[in-house]
């Protein structure tokens, strides 16, 4: 299975005639990496990412602000943070061998379960409005959690942030619930479903969409449905800008000390003082530009994330003063594990060209559609009983180009393997259109699950 940046060495040079620049950039980076190796190792404490502590034990996780910031703050300061640890109901800090995971779970205990996975940058509070809408509209039991290295979850320093790590985290979060989430999804519609034997709906946003599809390939029996909202996974390689190829490729990782690379990426993303004394903001726009280039194709003349409409999107209506940008600023400044997690996710997570996983899921969905009319096969193949997934897109989203995703999803899932709904929004649709997205999902579930 190709990963996001395992492809970097065989990708053509990125858009707009930048091939020569990219080659020069890599060559220069390699030369500087060698010449600054000793200096960077001394100043930054690492020439590469170590895999084991000297004793042979796994390195301790990089602590989240839950451990590094919150204990030193008075309660008034905590409540005024862009993302307080109690901003959503049912919060719990879950200790795991990989570090602590921040999980939120609420809603009626007997409601249908919904797990929501957030994107590459903004922590799970970005899905708070959507989760609240599901609880209020349909009495669903919802769960969200911060991916490793985001929000209040720790960051494992010694592992690639790939599907294996994220799958493990999903299962750990589910296992932390006092309710049963991981039983096989029944196709019978019996009352036993209410006792946790009916599986759960899996909803993935942005990076979470790619994770949801890849997870479903291996754990379809647990899932009642899969919903991909402005999701990654099938982003075309041509949208990778040459600067990002140079920064995040495995070639660069071999030549440039990891500590130096992390310092440089953080410097690119941190707010800075411009001429005249005005300060810039930490924005999701800048994060998205690291993932999706803007030089060619549908992304030309866009800012790769919906611009101010995304950065200024309010996370929760009851806290209108806190936006995506304010949370990103806080996270960059106070979570030391964010930059390592961000870099590793670009390199290894299922973001680009994951046709193998999507095609495998398409085959599983086709098997279920075949059995929909077979009474004697009821319950024989548990999970995803509707035989299709839902894809929700923003009409003006330049990160996930709707025409491309619909075309590529048709190629790997088949025309009957999914439904697509396009809303009048950009990449920020889970926040600005939370009620509409919730309505689309609940309508889909009512028609395709029992």
pLDDT score, position 24: 36
pLDDT for 1 beyond 60: no
Q: Quick one: average pLDDT of 198-220?
A: 96
pLDDT for 49 beyond 80: no
pLDDT for 341 beyond 90: yes
Q: Quick one: average pLDDT of 211-231?
A: 97
Q: Quick one: average pLDDT of 153-167?
A: 97
pLDDT score, position 268: 87
Q: For a pLDDT cut of 90, what percent of the chain falls above it?
A: 63
pLDDT score, position 250: 80
pLDDT for 134 beyond 50: yes
* Token couple for 358: 């999507």
pLDDT tens digit string along 52-68? 445 556 689 999 999 99
pLDDT score, position 287: 84
Sheet holding 113-117, edge to edge: 91-94, 101-106, 141-145, 113-117, 200-205, 223-229, 389-394, 418-423
Average pLDDT of the residues of the chain: 83
Residue bearing the bigger pLDDT, 130 or 380: 130
pLDDT score, position 312: 87
In three-state secondary structure terms, 420 is strand
pLDDT tens digit string along 295-306? 334 444 333 334
- For residue 399, which of 430, 377, 368 has the smallest C-alpha distance? 430
Lowest mean pLDDT among 37-51, 156-170, 224-238: 37-51
pLDDT classification of 197: cutoffs 50, 70, 90: low
- State the maximum Cα–Cα separation within the chain, in Å, rounded to a whole number: 74
> Which H helix or E strand runs over 215?
helix 207-219
Torsion 125-397-282-297 (CA) sign: positive
pLDDT score, position 26: 47
What domains are defined for the chain? Answer: 1-271+279-450 (3.40.50.1820)
* Token couple for 278: 């005005």
- For residue 354, which of 248, 204, 232, 262 has the smallest C-alpha distance? 232
Q: Quick one: average pLDDT of 164-185?
A: 94
pLDDT for 6 beyond 80: no
* Token couple for 26: 């890599």
Give dist(CA 250, CA 256) in Å, integer: 10
Q: Quick one: average pLDDT of 322-348?
A: 95
pLDDT score, position 307: 47
Residue bearing the bigger pLDDT, 2 or 434: 434
Q: Quick one: average pLDDT of 117-136?
A: 97
pLDDT for 398 beyond 50: yes
Lowest mean pLDDT among 197-211, 287-301, 400-414, 423-437: 287-301
Q: Quick one: average pLDDT of 302-319?
A: 70
Q: Quick one: average pLDDT of 341-359?
A: 96
Residues 6+ apart with CB under 8 A from 62: 99, 149, 154, 155, 156, 157, 336, 337, 340
Residue bearing the bigger pLDDT, 285 or 18: 285
Query: What are the residues facing 141 on neighbouring strands?
Result: 113
- For residue 364, which of 334, 387, 347 has the smallest C-alpha distance? 387
């Amino acid at each position: 299975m190709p990963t996001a940046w395992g492809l970097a060495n065989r990708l053509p040079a990125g858009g707009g005639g930048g091939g020569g620049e990219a080659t020069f950039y890599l060559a220069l980076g390699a030369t500087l990496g060698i010449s600054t190796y000793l200096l960077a190792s001394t100043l930054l404490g690492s020439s590469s990412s170590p895999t084991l502590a000297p004793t042979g034990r796994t390195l301790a996780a990089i602590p989240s602000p839950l451990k590094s910031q919150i204990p030193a703050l008075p309660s008034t300061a905590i409540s005024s943070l862009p993302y307080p640890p109690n901003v959503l109901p049912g919060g719990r800090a879950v200790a795991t061998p990989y570090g602590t995971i921040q999980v939120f779970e609420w809603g009626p205990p007997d409601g249908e379960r919904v797990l929501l996975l957030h994107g590459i940058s903004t922590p799970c509070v970005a899905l708070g409005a959507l989760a609240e809408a599901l609880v209020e509209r349909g009495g669903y039991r919802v769960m969200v959690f911060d991916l490793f290295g985001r929000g209040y979850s720790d960051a494992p320093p010694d592992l690639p942030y790939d599907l294996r790590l994220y799958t493990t985290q999903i299962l750990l979060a589910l296992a932390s619930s006092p309710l049963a989430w991981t039983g096989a999804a029944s196709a019978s519609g019996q009352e036993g479903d209410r006792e946790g034997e009916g599986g759960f709906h899996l909803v993935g946003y942005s990076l979470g969409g790619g994770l949801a599809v890849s997870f479903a390939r291996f754990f379809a029996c647990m899932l009642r449905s899969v919903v991909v909202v402005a999701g990654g996974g099938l982003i075309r390689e041509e949208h990778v800008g040459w600067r990002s190829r140079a920064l995040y490729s495995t070639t660069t990782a071999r030549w440039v000390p990891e500590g130096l690379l992390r310092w440089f990426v953080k410097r690119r993303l941190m707010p800075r003082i411009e001429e005249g004394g005005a300060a810039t903001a930490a924005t999701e726009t800048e994060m998205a530009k690291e993932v999706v280039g803007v030089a060619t194709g549908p992304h030309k003349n866009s800012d790769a994330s919906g611009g101010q409409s995304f950065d200024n999107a309010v996370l929760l209506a009851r806290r209108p003063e806190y936006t995506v940008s304010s949370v990103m600023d806080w996270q960059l400044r106070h979570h030391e594990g964010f930059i390592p997690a961000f870099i590793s996710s670009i390199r290894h997570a299922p973001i680009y060209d994951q046709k193998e996983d999507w095609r495998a899921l398409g085959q599983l969905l086709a098997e279920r559609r075949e059995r929909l009319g077979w009474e004697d096969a009821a319950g024989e193949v548990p999970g995803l009983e509707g035989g299709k997934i839902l894809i929700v897109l923003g009409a003006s989203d330049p990160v996930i180009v709707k025409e491309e995703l619909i075309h590529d999803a048709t190629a790997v899932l088949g025309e009957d393997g999914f439904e697509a709904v396009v809303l009048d929004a950009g990449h920020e649709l889970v926040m600005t259109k939370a009620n509409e997205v919730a309505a689309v999902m609940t309508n889909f579930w009512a028609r395709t699950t029992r």
